[in-house]
Amino acid sequence: MRFIKYNFLFVIGMMLTLGISSAMASSMDKRNKAPKGMGTLSVQTTPVSLPVKVDGQYKGMSGVGDPAEFYLAPGFHTVEVTSPDGKTFVKEIEIRKGLKHCICLKMVEETISKACPYRFSLEGPERITEGDLVTFAAINSGTAPIPIKYVWRVSPDSVLITSGLGTPTITIDSKGLGGRTIDAELDVNDDVYDGKCRQVISVPTMVEKLPEPPPIERVLCDQFDSKSPDDDKARLDNCVITAQNTPDSQLYVIIYPGTDRASVTRNTYERVSKRALDYMVKNRGFDPSRIRFIRGSPRTRTAYEIYIVPIGAEPPIVQ
């Protein structure tokens, strides 16, 4: 934190301006001659021009390379010259008729350095996993108990700040930000030091994507030729139990009607499908809304294919 202070070094002089008789005197010398009965105040400042007041009245700006001249009536006058930081040089001088009174001021700039009463660093993790809550915290290494303003800015714009706005710590939800970087920026300021101690600090955090879940697939529970009702029921039992242990799954029963004598008389598609449905619902208590029967293409003997299809899996393709 730096403060600039200005001090004046000054020289006051007086010189006679009447009686210039040199043949080399120019017309400019005559124009700058004080009016009859008046004296001249000459003010020069270094390194910049400054406002000049005489007896409380603004007269103009001082000269830098060449002095500025002001004509005043003889007598005592109070001269004021004000520096950029508001410091005022004040001097009472006596103006005499026909004389030039010179004031030369040099501003000396003094820089005062002072440690800011607070100094922040910003802490946050280098990387997190998508869906985690991430916290960014401003750590103050100073000790001065002054009120501090915390202004947070985060990107991308879709970031959800769950808590902490206006405080030194914020928490962010990283849901949906896999593969991106969260940039947290903190603007720290106060109302005491006029922005001289302001800090803008930031920290990035990489959000790693969650691993892709394995695809949900249907399961071929069993496939067999229809032989006898009892044998079919025993094979159906295993698939019903497995389906009951897979909540909300569907049981797909594909029946391929046979072309042999037994298949076209006792084991037709209609008979086999009805027999299987009755057993699974009435005997095993399986929910009929979770059963799908599909008629497949003809084969030599009537056959089953039974699939368990969880939610999100594709149903079987009938050959």
315, part of any domain: no
109, part of any domain: yes
17, part of any domain: yes
Asked if 237 and 269 sit in the same domain, the reply is: yes
What CA–CA distance (Å, rounded) separates 150 from 169? 9
CATH number at residue 165: 2.60.40.10
Q: Is the pLDDT of residue 126 over 70?
A: yes
Asked if 233 and 189 sit in the same domain, the reply is: no
Residues in contact with 264: Cβ distance below 8 Å, sequence separation at least 6, in sequence order: 258
Asked if 132 and 102 sit in the same domain, the reply is: no
Rg (CA), the chain: 49
What CA–CA distance (Å, rounded) separates 171 from 152? 11
CATH number at residue 226: 3.30.1330.60
E-only strand ranges, the chain: 2-16, 39-46, 51-54, 57-61, 68-72, 75-82, 88-95, 99-113, 120-123, 127-129, 133-140, 148-155, 160-163, 169-173, 181-190, 199-208, 219-225, 250-256, 291-295, 303-309
202: exposed, middle or buried (C-beta count within 10 Å: 0-12, 13-18, 19+)?
Answer: middle
Which helix or strand (DSSP H or E) is residue 262 part of? helix 261-265
Structure tokens at 300: 């030599």
Q: Is the pLDDT of residue 288 over 80?
A: yes
Q: pLDDT exceeding 70 applies to what percent of the chain?
A: 88
Last residue of a domain, one of 184, 208, 232: 208
Asked if 141 and 201 sit in the same domain, the reply is: yes
Q: pLDDT exceeding 90 applies to what percent of the chain?
A: 62
Last residue of a domain, one of 80, 113, 146: 113
Between 4 and 162, name the one with better pLDDT: 162
Q: What is the overall mean pLDDT for the chain? A: 85
Q: Which domain holds residue 167?
A: 120-208
Last residue of a domain, one of 152, 178, 208: 208
Asked if 108 and 184 sit in the same domain, the reply is: no
What pLDDT sits at residue 24?
25
Asked if 199 and 223 sit in the same domain, the reply is: no
Total of domains in the chain: 3
Give the model confidence (pLDDT) of 184-240 as tens digits: 999 998 888 777 888 899 999 999 998 888 899 999 999 999 988 999 999 999 999
Asked if 230 and 177 sit in the same domain, the reply is: no
* Distance, first Cα to last Cα, the chain: 82
Query: 256 pLDDT band (50/70/90 cuts)?
Result: very high
What pLDDT sits at residue 279?
95
